[in-house]
Amino acid sequence: MTTQEQEFELLGFFKALADENRLKIIGLLAQQPRSVEELSAVIGLGMSTTSHHLARLAKAGLVSARTDRHYYIYSLHTDTLKDMSQRLLQDEQIRQLSEPASSDAYDQKVLSSFLDGEGRVKTFPAQDKKLQVILRYVVKAFEPGQRYPEKQVNEILLRFNEDTAFLRRSLIEYRLMGREGGGGAYWRIDPD
């Protein structure tokens, strides 16, 4: 199971338990199996709301239903509850929660939000971190080690957005490109 799948499972487990009424249902089902009608009456919720909570718990694998004449009787899977809590809360699993998300996945998400189908920047993000993703994408259009006159820089930047001045200034400001003073050449700066 990948780290992302583990995180998804952990979130699903905690979301299923992150409700006062669902915890009450767990407590009642730990005593004995019950129908939706019984649970609804004891907790004081409508039957549709109780059914909704039971569906969330069933999706997490914590409860299941069997039919008894015209009723669904729900049972708690105590073994599943114990197994999931032990497995998901192991020291190694908890440590993995602090691992940063893949920067490639983050970059792809930002790019898909701010680029159109042709790879042009629709709008510039206000958030600095997202703007840097866009700028790293744009700077790839420049060859490392090659010097460019400002006119050629603007022609290349125009492929990405009409606001070439903003892009040019931003690339300089975030040290992705360098330039000579007095209208001289521009060049790509590769990270160390």
Q: Are residues 20 and 65 in the same domain?
A: yes
> Do 59 and 108 have their domain in common?
no
Q: Of 96, 127, 149, which one is at a domain's C-terminal end?
A: 96
Q: What is the pLDDT of residue 38?
A: 94
Amino acid at 140: K
pLDDT digits (tens, 9 = 90+) for 125-143: 999 999 999 999 999 999 9
Task: Determine the pLDDT at residue 91.
Answer: 60
- Using the predicted structure, report yes or no on whether residue 7 has a pLDDT greater than 70: no
Per the rule left: phi > 0, alpha: psi between -120 and 50, beta: everything else, 145 is left
C-beta neighbour count of 13 within 10 angstroms: 20
Domain end point (choices 47, 77, 96): 96
Band of residue 100 on the pLDDT scale cut at 50, 70, 90: low
92 and 150 in a single domain? The answer is no
**Tens of pLDDT, residues 34-71:** 999 999 999 999 999 999 999 989 888 899 999 988 88
Mean pLDDT of all residues in the chain? Answer: 86
**Amino acid identity at 13:** F
Domain tally, the chain: 2
Domain span including residue 154: 103-188
Residue 108 has pLDDT above 70, yes or no: yes
Domain boundary among 66, 96, 126: 96
Handedness of CA 24, 30, 35, 41 (dihedral sign): negative
The neighbouring-strand residues paired with 91 are none
pLDDT of residue 106: 86
Predicted TM-score (pTM) of this structure: 0.48
